[in-house]
Amino acid sequence: MRIGLSEIIVIVLVAVILIKPDKIGDIVKAITKATKKIKEENEKINEDVIKPMKDITKPINDAVKDTRDSIKEATDMFKNNGGKQE
C-alpha cells in the first residue's frame, strides 16, 4: 500500500491541527525510528526464518517433483503398453 501526495498533505494538516507544531518534529523522528526498527526486524525474520525454511523445504519439494515425474512416467508406460507386462 502506497500513500500518495494528497494523503500525506491530509495527514500533515490533521497533525498540525491536533498536535502542537513544536511536537511534530519529535513525532516525525519517532515514526522514522519505528519504521527503521520494523524494517530491521523484518530483515532479521527473513534471515532467521524465511531463508532457512526455504532451505528445509527445497529437498522435500524436489522429492515430491521426482515422485510425480516417476508416477507420470509409469502411468505413460502403462497406457502405451495397454496394461500388458513385457
Domain residue ranges in the chain: 21-77
User: Which pLDDT score, from 0 to 100, does residue 7 have?
Assistant: 86
Q: What is the pLDDT of residue 46?
A: 86
pTM of this structure: 0.46
Cβ-contact 16, 24 below 8 angstroms: yes
Please report, in tens digits, the pLDDT of each residue of the chain (86 residues total).
Answer: 677 888 888 888 887 788 777 787 888 899 899 999 999 998 998 889 888 888 899 999 999 999 999 999 999 888 887 656 55
| Residue 33: predicted pLDDT | 94
Q: Which of 11, 12, 34 is nearest to 21 (CA)?
A: 12
The confidence score (pLDDT) of residue 86 equals 54
Buried b vs exposed e over 16-31: b needs ≥16 C-beta within 10 Å? eeeeeeeeeeeeeeee
**What are the Cα distances from residue 36, in Å, to 13, 48, 82?**
24, 18, 65
